[in-house]
Amino acid sequence: MSTATASRSSTRPAAAVPTARRPRPAFVPTAVLLIGAVYCLLPVAWVVAASTKAGSTLFTSFTFAPSGSFFDNVGELSDYGGGIYWRWMVNTALYAGVGAGLSAGLSGLSGYTLAKYRFAGRSVIFNVLLAGVLVPGIVLAIPQYLMLAKVGLTNTYWSVLLPSIVSPYGIYLARIYAAAAVPDTIVEAARVDGASEFRIFRSVALPMMVPGMITVFLVQFVAIWNNFLLPFIMLADDRKFPVTLGLYTLLNRGATEPALYSLVITGALLSMIPLVAVFLTLQRYWRVDLLSGAVKS
């Protein structure tokens, strides 16, 4: 009987093992992403192609057909106004670099304070910051001009730097990041060891907040680099202009001097290179942070 049972069980078909299904390609999201990429990159492609054309062929040749006048355009742009374009680039680097650096430092300290300390009015301050995030910069430009005019700082570098240092969004982002990235137990352990509050922030909290501070720096750097309205209101001396305002003046002169259009396009292309370089340089901090988090978990 046992032999018959064994033979019967041996002839029974084995249960089918379920096979893992291959994920279906998401055509709709991929198509949407491709359309968005084309929409974003098409103007860049036009700027690259147009910067290679001379002023005489800028509007007569095919839009995306490149030419061989790029270096001639760069030379003419460098010679225009005694090289004032490069002065605009240096001014922009000063406004964006110093302003974003000070803003990241202030945002980090303020965000850490709001996240790790309990004091009267903390919720009110945080809610005011949230309201400040919703206020467009154009609404504050005229009041800022009037306040700086009272102390005689208009038409100076400070008139562009000072309003760029305080960023409600940067403080909000730093506060959220500090609350998530800096454990309370580590802060308490540092206090037990006798470290001062500023040393705890500088030596313990700040290294943990580096990816968040890099994000604040990049957001502010791009915002200040592309800022037009604030310098337009504050500055009258063209030697203090950032590149956005300087190219705007060249564009206005292009109505009477059409040859300047090619210089404006070439200047716009050159002004994008520092932004790309900054992003490629600083993105490693995000990658390192993600890898370290994966290893720790």
- The mean pLDDT value of the chain amounts to 84
| Of 283, 166, 276, residue with least CA distance to 220 | 166
**In the predicted structure, residue 293 carries a pLDDT above the cut 50:** no
Distances (CA, A) of 165 to 7, 40, 89, 162, 273: 84, 29, 20, 6, 24
Higher pLDDT, 133 or 265: 265
Structure tokens at 230: 């604030």
Q: How far apart are CA 166 and CA 104, in angstroms?
A: 9
Confidence of residue 1 (pLDDT cuts 50, 70, 90): very low
* Amino acid 129: pLDDT: 85
- Reported as a single tens digit per residue, the pLDDT across 95-122 is 999 999 999 999 999 999 999 888 888 8
Q: Is the pLDDT of residue 250 over 80?
A: yes
pLDDT of residue 286: 62
CA end-to-end span of the chain:
56
pLDDT tens digits for 145-203? 999 999 999 999 999 999 989 888 899 999 999 998 889 899 999 999 888 888 999 88
| pLDDT given for residue 234 in this prediction | 93
Structure-token pair, residue 214: 């890099």
pLDDT at 21: 64
Residue 150 is predicted with a pLDDT of 92
Q: What is the pLDDT of residues 59-103, one digit of tens each?
A: 777 777 888 888 888 998 998 888 899 999 999 999 999 999 999
Q: Average pLDDT, stretch 230-259?
A: 87
Q: Count of CB atoms within 10 A of residue 273's CB?
A: 10
Rounded CA separation 235/169 (Å): 25
What does the pLDDT read at residue 102? 94
Higher pLDDT, 122 or 4: 122
Provide mean pLDDT across the span 217-229: 92
For residue 219, pLDDT over 80 is answered with yes
pLDDT at 14 over 80: no
Beta carbons within 10 angstroms of residue 169's beta carbon: 18
Q: What are phi and psi of 109, to 5 degrees?
A: -65, -45
pLDDT at 2: 47
pLDDT number for residue 22: 64
User: Among residues 91, 78, 92, 76, which one has the least CA distance to residue 224?
Assistant: 92
Percent of the chain with pLDDT over 70: 87
For residue 225, what pLDDT band results from cuts at 50, 70 and 90? very high
Give the ranges where the chain is alpha helix by DSSP (H). 2-11, 27-50, 70-79, 84-116, 122-134, 137-150, 158-165, 168-181, 184-192, 197-199, 206-208, 210-225, 229-234, 243-253, 260-296
Q: Count of CB atoms within 10 A of residue 242's CB? A: 28
- Cα distance between residue 210 and residue 104, in whole Å: 10
